[in-house]
Structure 1
């Protein structure tokens, strides 16, 4: 029986980063993956497929050019499932090839099969031929990810009634789509298909969605969706789903409404893929959704030498955060130096349009009773926005009044997930509003929105004497009087 310093179960973002970090520390590492190829949920059914699908749709539909050429503009007139799948296959092959090369270069062993704990220092792996192989380990990282939540009363058939896994494995363009669940996955797929001009209805039992995003950003986002005809049924709960004589899905809501569509995507949550890991034999106890509880600083489970990272531990369930969790787990396991984690990390939602955010929301700032001010920039206010034909998109900046420090940046619109990193650097370095006001940004760029938002906030902030801020002459300023207080934010000292 071979023995390894570290065994990693799962080769998604958390698993791969944990394995490579341990290998760079000179440890022997085994990665067990139950799929036929490496990559985990992220590569095969999650992050990479959904983002590749999004990019394919935006390109083939001509979505980014419609601001100039009209809503009827198309790059390809009739878009089919095979068109969507062509780029996806190429992208997945490339991602897997890169991962295999990384493992080989760092001396990480891989083994294909289903892993199951046999005690707290051994696992049994049933390979793809059905043979059992035992391995011993000093430390383990559970990074198995999640799988779609599939209620027993929903008749998933892989064609009309789908979950997010089967959606990407059997790509087709439906004549209409119902999405049950307005979480990140549901919203991403709803807006992607809406960009193909597919009529989409989103059903969500709560009265709001994406609660962790600043409400003003969600209001802007919702307005954009309604403008293009996407229907939001908030406060609606699905009682049952059935198919009619034509094979279309009918979602029956508890309030008596019925929503009929060519395809239904059930995206109401995910569960940890831990049910077959034999966790009882090693002492790790999952919750009722299969997720694992860990120490948020070290990612240790109830058993100190067994760690868990990635989606299997729950929120925020982002590929970016999963990578860092896996790395920290490996560093802690082998006593290596762990730099302090930054106070804030960015969230990215790859909807159409994108949403990205970092730091405190306006509601969180109010709850903390921090005196603050907000600055807003519309992408259409930038020259680059005009060049790109952008009609929507905004950036919101939140600044502390007493220290002028940046508290949060929230963006909805084209390139949001790229733009957010400027705010991330300034926020985590503890810098102030002055950075944006005093520095020059490339012109024309969407990043210029940072200066516009900063000037908007600066104009609203109280001063003893009116002093013009230092600014790049090529940068347009918002049409706001320097001494005009914010008439909206009643909680701001500037409004009192």
Structure 2
């Protein structure tokens, strides 16, 4: 194999394979090294399989309501074996597609591990050989892994999000430690599938980076499905018996015991930077994550880092953009990554999507802030999708002085497809008046965007 390259990408997840493809398109001789499967966490044990599980749970939940509109069905239970086979079929199709895209672009791919030997040299270990590879430029996209807290994973009773995705049968009860995106998505999934779910969170509320008016709608829906929440609660220890795991939790100074068949640790992810021997380079890290500038460049000017390992939003669509930015800069084009208008979606039931600032963040930064909220209960398509019921709100935050849209959040069923609408408008620096003037199709969920914009401009049509 060739041992001297213009660009070597370490990691084949969204950030890595996007960087490799773009680098090759720009005429750079490019090698990509992936230790496991192409597609990284996202395609294999993250975005895609979890969202497939979301669809599985949503379908089961909808069966409960079909009789209300005249559809009689017989429910014969869940077939987890069929689910696992169907999920893997989708994953295999997408990862195979990534391989085809890399081949088409002219990227060479090696399956193996990589670690730095010096500033311009890495050691690559495959199943059959160990070799040293040199490159003019490197892009690190090695990602993250589930973080352990006080109690360690055992893969059986105390599990990670990766373990959960391969379950062949469901537990009767589950305690989830962490009420971030991962924890809340699994709380939604398993509560829909009939599992008794408890959520333990050290913070005073769930999804701390999102607007709490919107998050409260999700909490209310999950509580209706009998999910129990323990906020301001810190796990101190765990003990395992024959049938369950008991967590000892300090909640506001009070000792609480929570028992369940299994425990899912979903309290964040840890950088894989510690596997790369970065001490053999001048690359700097902060709390384990690699420090980069807006060009995705580290303090070692020939080494770039993208995706989760570079900190920031741990989102696949962010990694895609960062990978492209890194490749463009390696090719000599001056490009900067800007995350100001990054959309954020949580695939719970109901879903949550946001872009820009929350109300609290806006009030901290601006003097004249207007906040406007419209309910989905008056949206025809929401009522149709909900078989007669519609829960959720859309909330927009505006700088009243100039009409700048500062942030938008929405909660409801199927609303994640709407966020690109507002993201586009904000990215073009359009005003609230511009958004209010855009025609949306009827009946559609997207009408809620126009309605909340009309409300913000003092001209609501369907909101009192």
TM-score by length of 1: 0.87
Deviations 1:41-87 (A, max 9, x none): 1111112121111112212x1438738739x9977431143243122
The structural deviation recorded for 1:277 is 1.1
3-state SS in 1 of match to 2:43:
helix
Pick closer, same or farther for the CA change 1:287–1:404 going to 2, 3 Å: closer
Which of 215, 225, 228 pairs up with 1:228?
Answer: 225
The structural deviation recorded for 1:184 is 1.3
Pick closer, same or farther for the CA change 1:105–1:237 going to 2, 3 Å: same
Deviations 1:462-489 (A, max 9, x none): xxxxxxx4x8xxxx5112xxxxxxxxxx
The structural deviation recorded for 1:319 is 0.3
Question: 2:47 matched to which residue of 1?
Answer: 47
Question: 2:157 matched to which residue of 1?
Answer: 160
Question: 2:445 matched to which residue of 1?
Answer: 446
3-state SS in 1 of match to 2:89:
helix
- Unpaired stretches in structure 2, ≥5 consecutive residues: none
Pick closer, same or farther for the CA change 1:451–1:207 going to 2, 3 Å: same
3-state SS in 1 of match to 2:118:
coil
Which of 129, 136, 160 pairs up with 2:134?
Answer: 136
Pick closer, same or farther for the CA change 1:33–1:443 going to 2, 3 Å: same
* Cα distance in 2 between the residues matched to 1:359 and 1:20: 29
Pick closer, same or farther for the CA change 1:169–1:249 going to 2, 3 Å: same
Deviations 1:72-116 (A, max 9, x none): 997743114324312210111111111011001000000011111
Which of 308, 329, 334 pairs up with 2:331?
Answer: 334
3-state SS in 2 of match to 1:446:
coil
Question: 2:35 matched to which residue of 1?
Answer: 34
3-state SS in 1 of match to 2:84:
helix
* Cα distance in 2 between the residues matched to 1:427 and 1:283: 38
Question: 2:428 matched to which residue of 1?
Answer: 429
The structural deviation recorded for 1:414 is 1.6
* Cα distance in 2 between the residues matched to 1:234 and 1:103: 45
Pick closer, same or farther for the CA change 1:29–1:269 going to 2, 3 Å: same
Pick closer, same or farther for the CA change 1:355–1:74 going to 2, 3 Å: farther
The structural deviation recorded for 1:369 is 3.0
* Cα distance in 1 between the residues matched to 2:361 and 2:61: 38
Matched, 1:348 2:345: yes
Matched, 1:477 2:462: yes
Pick closer, same or farther for the CA change 1:83–1:337 going to 2, 3 Å: same
Mapping of residues 43-82 of structure 1, within 5 Å: 43-59=43-59, 61-63=60-62, 66=65, 69=68, 76-82=75-81
* Cα distance in 2 between the residues matched to 1:202 and 1:319: 25
3-state SS in 2 of match to 1:402:
coil
The structural deviation recorded for 1:435 is 2.9
Say whether the 8 Å CA contact 1:11–1:38 is kept in structure 2.
yes
* Cα distance in 2 between the residues matched to 1:68 and 1:282: 64
Question: 1:487 matched to which residue of 2?
Answer: none
Question: 1:494 matched to which residue of 2?
Answer: none
Say whether the 8 Å CA contact 1:379–1:449 is kept in structure 2.
yes
Question: 1:253 matched to which residue of 2?
Answer: 249
CA-atom RMSD, angstroms?
Answer: 2.1
3-state SS in 2 of match to 1:79:
coil
Deviations 1:284-304 (A, max 9, x none): 24344x321111x11111211
* Cα distance in 2 between the residues matched to 1:411 and 1:68: 29
Deviations 1:198-236 (A, max 9, x none): 111000112123222112112222222222211110011
Question: 1:11 matched to which residue of 2?
Answer: 12
Mapping of residues 299-314 of structure 1, within 5 Å: 299-314=296-311
* Cα distance in 2 between the residues matched to 1:173 and 1:279: 41
Say whether the 8 Å CA contact 2:180–2:208 is kept in structure 1.
no
* Cα distance in 2 between the residues matched to 1:75 and 1:291: 51
Deviations 1:300-326 (A, max 9, x none): 112111111101122211000011111
* Cα distance in 2 between the residues matched to 1:54 and 1:83: 15
* Cα distance in 1 between the residues matched to 2:9 and 2:298: 14
Pick closer, same or farther for the CA change 1:271–1:171 going to 2, 3 Å: farther
